[in-house]
Structure 1
Amino acid sequence: MDQSRGPVLVVAEQLDPTADLVVQALADRGVPVVRFDLAEFPAALTLAAEHGGELPGWRGRLCADRRVARLEEVRAVYYRRPGLPVLSPRVPDAYREWARSQALVGMVQLLTSLPVAWIHHPDVYRAAAHKPGQLVTATTAGLTVPRSYLGNCLESAREWGRSLGGELVCKPVAAASIDLPGEPPLMLPTRPLHVSELDESLELTAHYLQERVPKAYEVRLTVVGRRLFPVAIHARSAAAREDWRSDYGALEYEVVDVPRDVAAAVFRFMAAHQLNFGAFDFAVRPDGRWVFFECNPAGQWQFVAQACRLPVAEAHASLLQGATT
């Protein structure tokens, strides 16, 4: 089969504006696309695949309504935050979690066996998304990172915080929400913290603390393959200056240049994690030095692309269109 003429498989929620932009960019190039959400499987999506015989890989088809993808013809996969499988009500309660895990693991492991290029390969994403590990990789790559603490020992946290002068920030180490009765899920932002505020509640779970980095502005650096899309984020409110995700209405955007040494270190970071996409967050200190915070291997980029008219979706389409590795 000539995979260079085959479809790009898009695995994403149906209501995902970021995925929509990539699908449109592929359509503009005449690249066929088959899109589905894992939430459609197995109730509304049929998988039939075989292995063995002349072809070394899996062959078969994915079918949903009029959408059909032949596995052996897929040229690339764009995998972005799909939902979880939705089961038929006919599955007894005692078997539902088992059946859901079989559907999820079976589909994802089959897809990840396809010898094609990926953006957001699930295995690569999981390995690259760990914040403590990112700090090690970033330091090895040559990026400047904040001094950081992770743990639940109050005495050592206080000693560490005092050694930095007391000005800290506290941030989640993993993406998770707090569910309060009658309220929408609450995502905790990065917040300033003085060492004198540390108390016994720190002992109740792991806490992720960092030195408070003075900022002239922050940068969302979107990387697609070898293309860099750096956008400065200027915060115009106190909340946004601590965590710009807290107040999108107070943000202004500006395309900036990436220092050569930072760009080289970013590509070393990408290579270490085998990434071809990453949404990097940096602070730029008043002295101009770039400080790495984190890299989201499936991060948002449409807001900076729209604000600064950057061809990020087109860069995705180029990578997916030419993928045969």
Structure 2
Amino acid sequence: MTTGPSGSVLVLTNPDDVTTDLVLRILAERRVPVVRLDPGTDLHAGAALTAAYGTGGQRGTLRTASRELDLTLVRSVWTRRPSPFDGPPELDGQERRFAASQALWGVGGILASLSGAHYVNHPWNNRAAEYKPAQLATARHSGLSVPDTLITNDPRQAREFAALHAGAVVYKPLWNTPYAVDGRAQQVWVREVRPHEITAAVAACPHLFQATVEKAFDVRLTAVGNRLSAARIDSPDLDWRQRQSLMECTPIAVPDPVARAVCAYLTAFRLTFGAFDFAVTPAGDWYFLECNPNGQWAWQPGPITESIAHAIADQLQKGPEL
């Protein structure tokens, strides 16, 4: 690995994000300067951000409790897990909502517009790649196999779709929206749905129904540029996330056609990083389920986690393509 350009790596994440530490330790060993910032909270605790634009060009500074960073010298930005812009805690109601909105569009806009910096990933590309309909369309165009899928708020269409596919499909939420029952947070898992279980309540909002894949196992494929790391997941559950203590993970090779399609998918969304989920049939066919452009990865077996951490560190160290 070459030394790469000078300048700091700016890491945007919350203070409880221990996954980030795996990469920061590698960058520290390489003597790559790093500035860590949680823009949603740090700017209410003494940090200051300034940007100027005009005929003389673009300049800016970020001042934290420990250092001052020239924003024109940032080589890479890692958009990891920053806190939401909630506004200063000492404000209430309308004032706090106004401040939070201004921070989103102002601070968020500055940090997403650092000229010459390499983003992993750019926050706007992350957002575009989070829409499941766009994921499915892009996966298909990239050459990945996609299960038959219906997104609808029409109960009749949903029941007909379920009946057409051997009477059973799975339901998936289109977004991981916070949901609580009696004040207790609930997780909406992927689950099988029979035609008679689909009620008029579907009309309330779009629902995603997908043909059940007869799978032998699942795969989590983590892509960092053209470096792919994949784990086979054997779980007793339809949705392996539901009881992760019961799943078994082992490294698995990625078939060449899948690897090429994954790289095409990243290119289409202008992503450097992506966490892909696949269902693999007994015949060995890989079916794309989804891609989280900012998914977690440190829960995988040690060699895979280590490989991903080094791949991310390499991306952040090298900076933009010259």
Shorter-normalised TM range? over 0.9
Q: Distance in 2 between matches of 1:72 and 1:198?
A: 55
| Distance verdict in 2 for CA 1:51–1:212, change over 3 Å | same
302, 308, 314: which one aligns with 2:310: 314
Alignment correspondent of 1:303: 299
Alignment correspondent of 1:70: 70
Q: Distance in 2 between matches of 1:88 and 1:309?
A: 36
How well do the aligned residues superpose, as a CA RMSD in angstroms? 1.8
The answer to whether the 8 Å contact 1:34/1:68 transfers is no
Q: Distance in 2 between matches of 1:77 and 1:308?
A: 23
Q: Distance in 2 between matches of 1:200 and 1:53?
A: 59
What is the aligned residue count? 317
The amino acid of 2:173's aligned partner reads P
Find out whether 1:28 has 2:29 as its counterpart: yes
Shift of 1:61: 1.4
Find out whether 1:126 has 2:122 as its counterpart: no
TM-score, normalisation: structure 1:
0.92
Alignment correspondent of 2:61: 61
Shift of 1:125: 0.6
| Distance verdict in 2 for CA 1:309–1:132, change over 3 Å | closer
Alignment correspondent of 1:79: 79
The amino acid of 1:148's aligned partner reads T
Alignment correspondent of 2:167: 166
Once the two structures are superposed, what CA deviation does each residue of 1:217-276 show, in whole Å capped at 9, x if it has no partner?
0000000011000110111x3xx2x10100010111111111111111111111111111
Alignment correspondent of 2:19: 18
Find out whether 1:47 has 2:43 as its counterpart: no
Alignment correspondent of 1:254: 250
Alignment correspondent of 1:197: 197
Q: Distance in 2 between matches of 1:18 and 1:299?
A: 11
SS of alignment partner, residue 97 of structure 2: helix
SS of alignment partner, residue 135 of structure 1: helix
1:110-149 matches, within 5 Å, as: 110-115=110-115, 116-149=117-150
Shift of 1:89: 5.2
Find out whether 1:9 has 2:10 as its counterpart: yes
Q: Distance in 2 between matches of 1:10 and 1:309?
A: 19
Q: Distance in 2 between matches of 1:166 and 1:307?
A: 41
Q: Distance in 2 between matches of 1:311 and 1:265?
A: 21
Shift of 1:136: 0.7
Shift of 1:19: 1.5
Alignment correspondent of 1:289: 285
Alignment correspondent of 1:273: 269
Bigger CA drift: 16-25 or 126-135?
A: 16-25
Shift of 1:167: 1.6
Shift of 1:152: 1.6
Shift of 1:62: 1.1
Identical aligned residues as a percent: 38
The answer to whether the 8 Å contact 1:154/1:202 transfers is yes
Shift of 1:150: 0.9
SS of alignment partner, residue 18 of structure 1: helix
Extract unaligned runs of 5+ from structure 2.
none
Alignment correspondent of 1:151: 152
Once the two structures are superposed, what CA deviation does each residue of 1:63-103 show, in whole Å capped at 9, x if it has no partner?
12113221011110001121123544554643221111111
Once the two structures are superposed, what CA deviation does each residue of 1:14-63 show, in whole Å capped at 9, x if it has no partner?
11022121212211211110001022243122112222354x33x22111
Q: Distance in 2 between matches of 1:316 and 1:125?
A: 16
Bigger CA drift: 206-215 or 33-42?
A: 33-42
Shift of 1:307: 6.7
- Runs of 4+ aligned residues of structure 1 deviating over 6 Å after TM superposition are none
Extract unaligned runs of 5+ from structure 1.
none
1:164-243 matches, within 5 Å, as: 164-183=165-184, 185-235=185-235, 237=236, 240=237, 242-243=238-239
TM-score, normalisation: structure 2:
0.93
| Distance verdict in 2 for CA 1:11–1:167, change over 3 Å | same
The amino acid of 1:216's aligned partner reads A
Q: Distance in 1 between matches of 2:305 and 2:222?
A: 13
Once the two structures are superposed, what CA deviation does each residue of 1:185-219 show, in whole Å capped at 9, x if it has no partner?
21211011122322222222221100010111000
SS of alignment partner, residue 287 of structure 1: coil
Bigger CA drift: 35-44 or 12-21?
A: 35-44
SS of alignment partner, residue 49 of structure 1: strand
Shift of 1:174: 0.8
Q: Distance in 1 between matches of 2:266 and 2:5?
A: 25
